[in-house]
């Protein structure tokens, strides 16, 4: 039994067998720049995607997640026209969405790279990718919210805190009233729900409320600034983590930061995942600087400073949303390995990092006057039944089958079984990844991504942007096609099937818009068949070299 347990946890010393590192990771080189023809094509791809982003922004004037009250375009002769033409507005937004996704896929040819005769890949440069990403983001910055109405919940919960009430004890309807200007736009399912976010985010929102008052439009744009700050942190940390893991930085940025899910849901949708992920990745990068400089002659005070800074930033990210605190466990295991990998070193690393993290959490919790109420609302999101959650899908599917077979609706009973089992599986995967870091078989960035992926897929509720919890850190480490291909496909499909208003349209409007989008996109592909690289004219770069020791060259 002990042998089976050790084998299941991956600590039996059989390092030669196929494991997560050899399946998902291989070292890449940065490669050389694009040739003249590819540079011209890149410029055209950049404009193609920017055109799609502009169409999205224009269509969102009528098809976006507009506020019920204080809609700035309502009644305006030109700008308000989109709201009176739902089919046309939805068509514009859907067409723009498809164009951005297609441009992202075309850009992937130059981010993953093409191979020269000497085997070296040709990739676009970091500056070329940064300019492309900025051009695609700019139209979405000035657009109304899209794909979600969560930002209105942020505003309402912030108003509750600004009034000196407890956002963790009462929802917008009870605290502000059902007819309040901020409550009216909060989705019905969340009007009586306490805030599920950490005190740092509520405290920031409170300051936004003090600045903007009940002005919804101003509040939206300030929250979008926070989202952009999170995206900037992702763009800063991701290539550094990729180089640490032996992965091409532009490949990681393309798959992680330029991913349509990030553009549509973190920038256009204004989700606080942007700030959470940005702080988490930045904290991991800072902390790993301390971990890997512990044995290279760096002064002890610098090592301590990097570790303390990284731990503090990770703890701060968890005060936006708690799941990011998991990153601290992988940093701790990497540190424990550097200190010998013994049980004592694990306990010492946990104590050292834990003291700093707890101090930051306590400072934020009581400094914001919100206390520990956030610990009682962590399960708020489970009220929603999400088809992307594996245990929820199994439970709902089984319940539906029971109804069809005349056995009754046992969905709730089945969910009470599938969700705990899924939680145990996610916990097992996380423990195995932690031990993989401790034994040196896995890089902490890759292990963190795998664990977050398991948690997201097995969580009771999965929203499309939750996938970025795993995709972004894994983009810095998992370079094999077995990860990249499904991620590209899933990101593309999910990005184009969601309604831009954060709700549902009448079926006939969706059908009309979908047909028009397919026709327009098809015509654009035909019109640009000789201008854009729609057809592969070169071979892909060589597969990443095998890398059994995931730590090799990583410091």
CB 500 within 8 A of CB 77: no
Integer Cα distance of 350 and 336 in angstroms: 8
DSSP 196-219: -S-HHHHHHHHHHHHHHTT-HHHH
Q: What is the pLDDT of residue 196?
A: 86
pTM of the model: 0.88
Residue with tokens 């930061």: 257
- So what's the pLDDT on residue 469? 92
Mean pLDDT of the chain: 84
Min mean pLDDT across 220-229, 274-283, 403-412, 525-534 is at 403-412
Residues 333-347 have pLDDT tens digits of 999 998 888 889 999
pLDDT value of position 242: 93
Given a cut of 50, whether residue 81 has pLDDT beyond it is yes
End-to-end CA distance of the chain: 37
Distances (CA, A) of 409 to 345, 387, 392, 398: 51, 17, 14, 9
pLDDT value, residue 382? 59
Measured between alpha carbons, how far is 338 from 353 in angstroms, rounded to an integer?
14
Chain centroid to CA 85: how far?
Answer: 32
Instruction: Determine contact, residues 540/115, Cβ cutoff 8 Å.
Output: yes
Task: For 116-158, write each residue's pLDDT tens digit.
Answer: 666 677 888 899 999 999 999 999 999 899 988 889 999 999 9
Distance CA 288, CA 241 (A): 9
Q: How far apart are CA 124 and CA 115, in angstroms?
A: 13
**Does residue 8 have a pLDDT over 60?**
no
- Can you read off the two tokens belonging to residue 374? 């956030």
- Spatial separation of the C-alpha atoms in residues 185 and 64, rounded to whole Å: 13
Percent of the chain with pLDDT over 70: 85
The predicted pLDDT at position 550 comes to: 39
102 contacts 521 by C-beta, under 8 angstroms: yes
Examine the pLDDT at 548 and tell me if it is beyond 50. Answer: no
CA angle 386, 391, 392 (to 5 degrees): 30
Asked if residue 330 lies in contact with residue 448, where contact means CB atoms within 8 angstroms, the answer is yes
Residue 278 has pLDDT above 90, yes or no: yes
C-beta of residue 313 within 8 angstroms of C-beta of residue 283 = yes
Q: Decide which of 86 and 39 is more confident.
A: 39
- Over residues 243-263, the pLDDT tens digits come to 999 898 999 999 999 999 999
With cut-offs at 50, 70 and 90, classify the pLDDT of residue 547. very low
| Range 332-337, long-range pairs (CB < 8 A, 24+ positions) | 333/434, 333/435, 333/437, 333/438, 333/444, 333/447, 334/288, 334/291, 334/437, 334/444, 335/290, 335/291, 335/294, 335/307, 336/438, 337/437, 337/438, 337/439, 337/440
């Amino acid at each position: 039994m002990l042998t089976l347990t050790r084998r299941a946890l991956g600590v039996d010393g059989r390092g030669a067998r196929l494991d997560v590192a050899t399946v998902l990771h291989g070292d890449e080189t940065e490669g050389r720049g694009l040739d003249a023809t590819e540079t011209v094509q890149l410029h055209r791809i950049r404009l193609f995607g920017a055109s799609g982003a502009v169409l999205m922004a224009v269509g969102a004037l009528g098809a976006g997640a507009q506020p019920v009250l204080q809609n700035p375009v309502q009644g305006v002769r030109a700008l308000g026209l989109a709201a009176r033409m739902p089919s046309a507005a939805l068509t514009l937004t859907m067409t723009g969405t498809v164009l951005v996704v297609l441009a992202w896929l075309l850009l992937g040819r130059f981010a993953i790279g093409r191979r020269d005769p000497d085997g070296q890949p040709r990739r676009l440069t970091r500056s070329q990718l940064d300019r492309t990403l900025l051009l695609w983001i700019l139209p979405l910055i000035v657009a109304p919210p899209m794909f979600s109405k969560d930002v209105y919940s942020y505003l309402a919960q912030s108003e509750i805190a600004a009034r000196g009430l407890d956002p963790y004890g009462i929802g917008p309807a009870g605290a502000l009233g059902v007819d309040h200007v901020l409550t009216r736009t909060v989705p019905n399912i969340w009007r009586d729900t306490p805030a599920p976010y950490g005190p740092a985010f509520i405290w920031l929102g409170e300051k936004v409320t003090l600045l903007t008052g009940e002005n919804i439009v101003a509040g939206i744009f300030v929250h979008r600034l926070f989202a952009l700050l999170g995206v900037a942190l992702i763009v800063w940390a991701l290539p550094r983590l990729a180089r640490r893991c032996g992965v091409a930085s532009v490949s990681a940025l393309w798959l992680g930061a330029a991913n349509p899910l990030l553009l549509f849901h973190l920038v256009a949708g204004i989700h606080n995942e942007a700030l959470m992920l940005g702080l988490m990745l930045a904290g991991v990068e800072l902390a790993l600087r301390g971990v890997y400089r512990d044995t290279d002659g760096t002064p002890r005070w610098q090592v301590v400073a990097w570790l303390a800074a990284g731990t503090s930033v990770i703890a701060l990210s968890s005060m936006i949303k708690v799941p990011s605190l998991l990153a601290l466990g992988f940093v701790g295991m990497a540190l424990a390995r550097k200190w010998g990998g013994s049980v004592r070193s694990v306990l010492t690393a946990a104590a050292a990092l834990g003291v700093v993290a707890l101090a930051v959490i306590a400072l934020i919790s009581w400094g914001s006057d919100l206390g520990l109420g956030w610990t009682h609302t962590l399960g708020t999101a489970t009220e929603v039944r999400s088809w992307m959650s594996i245990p929820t899908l199994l439970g709902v599917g089984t319940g539906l089958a029971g109804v069809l077979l005349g056995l009754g609706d046992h969905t709730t009973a089945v969910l009470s079984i599938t969700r705990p089992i899924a939680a145990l599986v996610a916990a097992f995967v996380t423990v195995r990844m932690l031990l993989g870091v401790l034994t040196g078989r896995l890089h902490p960035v890759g292990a963190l991504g795998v664990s977050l992926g398991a948690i997201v897929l097995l969580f009771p509720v999965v929203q499309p942007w939750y996938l970025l919890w795993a995709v972004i850190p894994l983009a810095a480490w998992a370079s094999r096609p077995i990860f990249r291909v499904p991620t590209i496909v899933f990101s593309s499909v999910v990005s184009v099937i969601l309604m831009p208003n954060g709700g549902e349209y009448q079926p006939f409007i969706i059908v009309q818009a979908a047909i028009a989008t397919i026709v327009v996109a098809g015509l654009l592909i035909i019109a640009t068949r000789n201008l854009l690289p729609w057809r592969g004219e070169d071979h892909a770069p060589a597969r990443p070299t095998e890398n059994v020791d995931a730590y090799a060259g990583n410091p």
